[in-house]
Amino acid sequence: MSKVANVEVKIKETRGDISRLIKKFMKKCKKERVLEDYLDRRFYEKPSVKKRKAKIRAKAAARKAEAERNKELDIK
């Protein structure tokens, strides 16, 4: 089952400005990861591969957070 992303922007929110309407819509789509989910689901990925990729992403995020903490301590 895929999650449903209801992304809508009303013309009243942008006071009739079409360019702002489009920008706001694109921003909401990015926030909801509509395009990224579509691209991820184009091909089947085995659960073990998903787990492996998630583990790698988690390690990278932890490494980045650790670097940020060390950077803050070095500055002070």
Q: Tell me what pLDDT residue 64 has.
A: 95
Number of H helices, E strands in the chain: 3, 0
Residue 71 has pLDDT above 60, yes or no: yes
Residue 1 has pLDDT above 60, yes or no: no
The answer to whether the pTM exceeds 0.85 is no
Q: In terms of domains, do 1 and 38 share one?
A: yes
Handedness of CA 17, 19, 21, 24 (dihedral sign): negative
2 closest CA partner among 47, 30, 34: 34
Tens digit of each residue's pLDDT (9 = 90 or more) over 14-31: 888 899 999 999 999 999
Parent domain of 62: 44-76
Q: What is the mean pLDDT of the chain?
A: 89
Tens digit of each residue's pLDDT (9 = 90 or more) over 34-69: 998 889 899 999 999 999 999 999 999 999 999 999
Q: In terms of domains, do 5 and 36 share one?
A: yes
